[in-house]
Structure 1
Amino acid sequence: MGNNVVITIGREFGSGGREIGKKVADRLGIKFYDKELLQEAAKESGFCREIFENQDEKPTNSFLYSLVMDTYSINGYSSAPFLDMPLNHKVFLAQFETIKKIAEKESCVIVGRCADYALAENPNCINVFIHADKEFRTKRVAAELQVNESKAKDAIQKKDKQRASYYNYYTSKKWGDSRSYHLTLDSSALGIDKCVEMILQYRALYLMK
């Protein structure tokens, strides 16, 4: 594990968590993983990437979909207990192992996917949660998705519920609970760039202890 420091970022939809994570990674000159993690997990496990994309941060999936997609083989995951698992559990486990392997080989920023839980035993992991008020998030989502504010609010509610369900389902913790993170930052109050600065400052202090 060495001196690798991993920053994990949980985020409310529309809070700018991905943008903040990318800027932190760019400032530090380290890799950034969001959707990129799905490609790494697919490569490690033998699943095709589409399976990870369909299961991404979702606690369950349809029984029919699981039956169809479960016909794919998984290289390196052939033990009987693993083969008996539902597909969504297999995908989570493969992603979980990929996160741990990435943390062992390099410093990086990882967004979402219960990375803080996967790295709970890693002493060089900084866990951050980004949240923001509804108005701030609604404007950001409406602009990004090019929809009206009503549809943006619906998208926020759906995505937050999905992320919370996924996190709570797999970690037995509560998504967004400040006790699960080193830092919780309000991007609507601080702004995107100030959140970046605060994470970098915290990291510097963390490395000094």
Structure 2
Amino acid sequence: MSGYIYTIGREFGSGGMLVGHMLADKLNIPFYDKELLQKAAKESGFCEEILENHDEKPTSSFLYSLVMDTYSGGSYSSAPFLDMPINQKIFLAQFDAIKKIAEDHESCVIVGRCADYALAERKNVINIFLHADMEDRMRNVSTRLNITEKKAKDMCQKQDKQRSSYYNYYTSKKWGDSRNYDLCLNTSKISPEKCVDLIIDYSNAFSGK
């Protein structure tokens, strides 16, 4: 299977990265998560540490629509860009990186970072959202990070709030709303392997209209 770009939004602890990796491996296509940060850092001149510290974190100091009116989409030395707070610069660097990745690859998997919004004008994009029951997410995070389930629950709630605020702010859409995605899958009910199979089955029937 080739020809589609798969974007994956995800609740924290629902297995978004795992499913994304498995999908990319099965289709033999590139996978972008932290790799996207590296690409954005290289092309924008930011060090990767700064990008990681501001990754998928919301800002409350500007209106995105105003930024897009003044930012020409490629000039990191222009006055409007240089005058922006760091969070805005990080978002635009990743936004441009996502678009460049889509231009460079016939097919790939991109996790998070409003990729569905950045690629909204493309017809070959399949947008997926993964969610799971809190109990399962707590166990997943507790096991992965070797922390108590209470701390894991706090982390899930914090990360979800952060991702939701980031997505809602920059896209003017609602994070996790099924109407914003082509597929919404509950990883408490469906194994990662089955999620991958369902995504591929959907892509076989996808019209892109």
TM-score, normalization by structure 1:
0.89
Long gaps (5+) in structure 1: 63-74
**Alignment map for 1:1-209 (pairs within 5 Å):** 4-60=3-59, 76-106=75-105, 107-206=107-206
Contact 1:4 1:105 survives alignment (8 Å): no
Deviation at 1:4, TM superposition (A): 3.8
Q: 1:143 to 1:61 in 2, by over 3 A?
A: farther
Contact 2:32 2:111 survives alignment (8 Å): yes
Structure 1 CA distance, aligned partners of 2:19 and 2:160? 18
C-alpha root-mean-square deviation of aligned residues, in Å? 1.8
Structure 1 CA distance, aligned partners of 2:168 and 2:12? 16
Deviation at 1:207, TM superposition (A): 6.1
Deviation at 1:86, TM superposition (A): 1.3
Long gaps (5+) in structure 2: 62-73
Deviation at 1:60, TM superposition (A): 2.7
The percent identity for this pair of structures is: 65
Q: Which amino acid aligns with 1:194?
A: K
Deviation at 1:55, TM superposition (A): 0.6
Q: Which amino acid aligns with 1:166?
A: Y
Contact 1:57 1:162 survives alignment (8 Å): yes
TM-score, normalization by structure 2:
0.89
Deviations 1:113-138 (A, max 9, x none): 00000000011100000000111111
- The DSSP-based 3-state class of the residue aligned with 1:188 is coil
Structure 1 CA distance, aligned partners of 2:10 and 2:20? 10
Q: 1:165 to 1:93 in 2, by over 3 A?
A: same
Contact 1:7 1:128 survives alignment (8 Å): yes
Aligned length: 195
Contact 2:81 2:89 survives alignment (8 Å): yes
Q: Which amino acid aligns with 2:111?
A: V
Q: 4+ runs of 1 displaced by more than 2 Å?
A: none
Structure 1 CA distance, aligned partners of 2:128 and 2:60? 28
Contact 1:14 1:138 survives alignment (8 Å): yes
- The DSSP-based 3-state class of the residue aligned with 1:10 is strand
